[in-house]
Amino acid sequence: MAKKKPASKRPMPAEPAAAAEKTRKPRGGRFVLSGGPGLQGQVAVVTGGNRGIGLAIAEALAAEGAKVILFGRDRAALRHATTVLSKYGNPVLPVEGDVTQEISVIALFEEVRRRFGRVDILINNAGIAPSGTVAETHLDVWRKTLDTNLTGTFLCCRAALPLMKAGATIVNNLSIVAEMAFPKASAYVASKHGALGFTKALRMEVQGQGIRVIALLAGAVETDIWDQFWPEAPRERMMAPETVAAVVINAVRLPANSVVEEVRIMPTTGAL
């Protein structure tokens, strides 16, 4: 089968949790953080927290003293992530499940309620990024993409809100694709545009309760998703997951009476 030539610009997914993540050494600095209150003892749920950006954010939260709940479909990856986070000495709870399944999401937050009684931080990171033209995209792929990237975010937010109080924070990992469009990624682009609209509406609904909602708009990040999505991508131009994690932690650590509504971070050289 002939290889497809990469387009001049390709989507820059913000790390789908379903992609295989190889062991690699972190690039960039560790978590250089701003002032503001720390996260010691806070309860943080990270979907897709077993690899890539999700794991980097989960580890940064653990390094800050948070109790981290990891939610993902890959049991082996969850075990590995739990080992990584456990070295910080704080509680780590791996939960196997699927953000597209309402019963699975409800069970997750019921377990969080039973174990910890609340949610202080929710990181909606789980996602997938199929590639293909509109003509090539099967309906089941389209539906799975929207179910994961958009409906999954909705289900997790809806289930978490009853456990949140003033000062709690929701971070939706949307990718810069939420603001841009690229060829051969219609399902991914549509799901992320929808998730950005959802994030804005949610923020307006809960800001009166003192709950903060942040849209994370990240450009190209060096993860193994590119092995399948665009093998020839110039990885030397990409950001490290730990860089994105540090920016997220900075935003979450701000005093409760302030919010960075959108975190937009790109490689210095811009779009690929």
Retrieve residue 163's tokens. 């456990």
Gap between the Cα atoms of 119 and 201, Å rounded: 20
Gap between the Cα atoms of 6 and 22, Å rounded: 23
| Residue % of the chain over a pLDDT of 70 | 83
Bridge partners (DSSP) listed for residue 16? none
Over residues 52-111, the pLDDT tens digits come to 999 999 999 999 999 999 999 999 999 999 999 999 999 999 999 999 999 999 999 999
What single letter denotes the amino acid at residue 165? K
DSSP E strands: which ranges in the chain?
43-47, 67-72, 92-96, 121-124, 169-173, 212-218, 262-265
Q: What is the largest CA-CA distance in the chain?
A: 56
Q: What is the mean pLDDT of the chain?
A: 88
Of 71, 116, 182, 188, catalytic: 188
**Are the CB atoms for 34 and 250 separated by under 8 Å?**
yes
| Residue % of the chain over a pLDDT of 90 | 74
Reply yes or no on whether 88 is catalytic: no
Count the helix, strand and coil residues of the chain and give each as a percent rounded to the nearest 5. Answer: 40, 15, 45
Retrieve residue 180's tokens. 């841009």
Domains of the chain: 43-265 (3.40.50.720)
- Cα distance from N-terminal residue to C-terminal residue, the chain: 26
Over residues 173-225, the pLDDT tens digits come to 999 999 999 899 999 999 999 999 999 999 999 999 999 999 999 887 777 76
User: What letter does residue 30 receive in the DSSP assignment?
Assistant: S
Q: Is the dihedral of CA 37, 66, 158, 109 positive or negative?
A: negative
Over residues 217-246, the pLDDT tens digits come to 988 777 776 666 667 776 777 899 999 999
Kindly give, in sequence order, each residue whose CB lies less than 8 Å from that of residue 33, ignoring residues fewer than 6 positions away.
64, 246, 249, 250, 253
Gap between the Cα atoms of 123 and 58, Å rounded: 9
Q: Dihedral angle at the C-alpha atoms of 73, 100, 123, 261, nearest 10 degrees?
A: 150
